């Protein structure tokens, strides 16, 4: 038996993985980045094949990883987590540094970054796993704590987007409803659920300038769900 | 430039990864276990080639992962993290369940477990990365928080053993010493440092039944270091 709730006990960080170059760069929010060997220091990053950044990593054979902190601006998560770089220049207006391989490194809300050169690409069906040798690492701000996936889910009420390795279809989770007449509203951009049974204010009574606490989308981007 | 302190900002959990069968089983403490695809749910686990469990995983083509909680008994971490299954039966006396593939699953201090069948083995030089398809997952205790590598390092003052993917030689880290005449003592089993500059009591004045807070080794297992 597979009880999908068990998977929430696995710990992850949250990162912006970027690739490309000065003329064409992109990045995405990832929770699957981790060290795989110590000598030499090598790291793995999983990336959905549909992801625009996956193609840039294949082209440039390199990627950067920005570790973001707990109070990261929701706009950063919304921009990199729930929008595609096919339609928009995600790096526009941000504080970007270019690495030794020429890949962009996002410095906004970043407490540390790493740059890796790809040495192996593993086909995992829906995803690629890029194995990269570390060529640069810098601690930017030691005073702030890294954002973890647990904090993102529990405190910021975020959910994994559909192409994340850790995406879980809600129908696979056990239900635990309170029959109350209160409603739920879902952010069409990021999937965040505003659940009136857990809030002090009805969705309709939220101010017009209220935005999604996860991705910064507007109130009008929400739909009522069953 | 590689600033190794940056690597501490990457988030990991801590797990006991086990393999083998009823007559010969073993496990080790791992921080590199993570989901790599959602459909089908697949997971990756990195394991040093010298690790006794690595050979058991290759023989049985399966492994289990126990997520352990924040207050896990130091004996469990000492037993699985810093001793080899070549010399000792690590599972002896523990609460073990056997999975659908026959691999042992450690239930002591476990809040959730997963069982995977290996579908791909990737050679990473010093380590293997085993890619496993999920065949079983169970949430055992939803009231306790998972132990993270950050909590292990910061609160429990643990260090990664030499064959971990995230092992960092202390000489690679920037030094930040206070010249005080106070001494440091290292646990020869797990590498934990008792640093008198950060403690209220000198090492020599600790009671004889004091044990290493990380792995449970005795006071006599410590040596003075420079």
A55-71 residue pLDDT tens: 999 999 999 999 999 99
Residue A111 pLDDT: 97
Answer whether B9 touches A (CB < 8 Å).
Answer: yes
Kindly report the pTM of this predicted structure. Answer: 0.81
In chain A, the residue whose alpha carbon lies closest to the alpha carbon of B124 is: A37
Closest CA to B57 of B92, B99, B87, B96: B99
Which tokens belong to B31?
């921080």
What 8-state DSSP symbol labels residue A212? -
Which residues pair with residue A186 across a beta bridge?
A: A193, A223
Longest distance between any two alpha carbons in chain A, whole Å: 58
Q: How far is B163 from chain A (nearest CA, A)?
A: 8
Query: Do B68 and B163 form a contact (C-beta atoms < 8 A)?
Result: no
Q: Which of A7, A33, A139 sits opposite B35 (nearest CB)?
A: A7
What's the CA angle centered on B8, arms B7 and B13, to 5 degrees? 110
Which residues of chain B lie closer than 8 angstroms to A69, CB-CB?
A: none
Residue A163 pLDDT: 81
Longest distance between any two alpha carbons in chain B, whole Å: 58
Which tokens belong to A12?
């992850």
Candidates B2, B3, B4, B10, partner chain A, best to mutate (most A CBs within 10 A)? B10
Q: How far is A207 from chain B (nearest CA, A)?
A: 35
Task: Cite the DSSP H helix spans in chain B.
Answer: 52-60, 74-81, 149-154
Q: Which of A5, A11, A35 sits opposite B166 (nearest CB)?
A: A35
Q: How many whole angstroms separate alpha carbon A75 and alpha carbon A56?
A: 23
Contact A9 B134 (CB under 8 A): no
Q: How far is B138 from chain A (nearest CA, A)?
A: 5
Closest CA to A182 of A156, A204, A153, A150: A204
Q: Which of B9, B131, B138 sits opposite A3 (nearest CB)?
A: B138
Cβ-Cβ contacts under 8 Å for A2 (sequence gap 6 or more)? B41, B134, B135, B136, B137
Contact A126 B4 (CB under 8 A): no
Which residues of chain B lie closer than 8 angstroms to A36, CB-CB?
A: 32, 46, 124, 127, 129, 165
> What residues 193-212 of chain A have any CB closer than 8 A to a CB of chain B?
none
Q: How far is A102 from chain B (nearest CA, A)?
A: 15
| String of DSSP letters for B96-140 | EEE-TTS-EEE-TTEEEEEEEEEEEEEE-SSEEEEEEEEEEEEE-
Answer whether B125 touches A (CB < 8 Å).
Answer: yes
Answer whether B226 touches A (CB < 8 Å).
Answer: no
Q: Which of A1, A125, A148 sits opposite B136 (nearest CB)?
A: A1
Cβ-Cβ contacts under 8 Å for A166 (sequence gap 6 or more)? A7, A10, A12, A31, A32, A149, A160, B35, B38
pLDDT tens per residue, chain B (226 residues)? Answer: 999 999 999 999 999 999 999 999 999 999 999 999 999 999 999 999 999 999 999 999 999 999 999 999 988 988 898 777 777 899 999 999 999 999 999 999 999 999 999 999 999 999 999 999 999 999 999 999 999 988 888 777 777 878 888 888 777 776 544 456 788 888 878 888 898 888 888 998 999 889 888 888 888 888 887 7
Contact A9 B139 (CB under 8 A): yes
Q: Is the peptide bond before A107 cis (omega within 30 degrees of 0)?
A: no
Q: How many whole angstroms separate alpha carbon A2 and alpha carbon B138?
A: 7
Phi, psi for A37 (deg, rounded to 5): -145, 155
ipTM, interface predicted TM-score of the complex? 0.80
Phi, psi for A4 (deg, rounded to 5): -65, -20
User: Containing H/E element for B186?
Assistant: strand B184-187
Output B194-201 pairs: Cβ under 8 A, ≥24 positions apart: B194/B222
In chain B, the residue whose alpha carbon lies closest to the alpha carbon of A30 is: B36
Contact A2 B165 (CB under 8 A): no
pLDDT tens per residue, chain A (226 residues)? Answer: 999 999 999 999 999 999 999 999 999 999 999 999 999 999 999 999 999 999 999 999 999 999 999 999 988 988 898 777 777 899 999 999 999 999 999 999 999 999 999 999 999 999 999 999 999 999 999 999 999 988 888 777 777 877 888 888 777 776 544 456 788 888 877 888 898 888 888 998 999 889 888 888 888 888 887 7
Residue A178 pLDDT: 44
The order of strands in the sheet holding B222-225 is B193-195, B184-187, B222-225
- Tell me the C-alpha to C-alpha distance, in Å, between residue A69 and each of A79, A97, B208: 16, 18, 42
């Amino acid at each position: 038996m597979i009880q999908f709730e068990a998977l929430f006990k696995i710990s992850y960080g949250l990162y912006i993985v970027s690739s490309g170059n000065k003329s064409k760069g992109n990045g995405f929010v990832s929770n699957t980045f981790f060290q795989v060997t110590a000598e030499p220091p090598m790291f793995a990053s999983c990336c959905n094949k549909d992801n625009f950044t996956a193609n840039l990593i294949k082209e440039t054979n390199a990627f950067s990883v920005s570790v973001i902190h707990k109070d990261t601006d929701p706009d950063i998560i919304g921009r990199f987590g729930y929008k595609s770089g096919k339609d928009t220049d995600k790096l526009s207006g941000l504080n970007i540094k270019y690495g030794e391989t020429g890949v962009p490194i996002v410095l906004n809300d970043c407490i540390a970054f790493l740059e890796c050169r790809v040495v192996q690409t593993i086909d995992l069906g829906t995803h690629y796993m890029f194995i990269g040798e570390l060529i640069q690492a810098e601690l930017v701000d030691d005073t702030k704590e890294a954002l973890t996936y647990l904090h993102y889910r529990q405190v910021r009420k975020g959910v994994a987007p559909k192409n994340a390795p850790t995406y879980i279809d809600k129908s696979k989770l056990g239900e635990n409803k309170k029959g109350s007449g209160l409603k739920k509203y879902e952010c069409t951009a990021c999937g965040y659920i505003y659940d009136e049974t857990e809030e002090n204010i009805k969705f309709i009574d939220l101010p017009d300038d209220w935005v999604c606490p996860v991705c910064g989308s507007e109130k009008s981007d929400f739909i009522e769900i069953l």
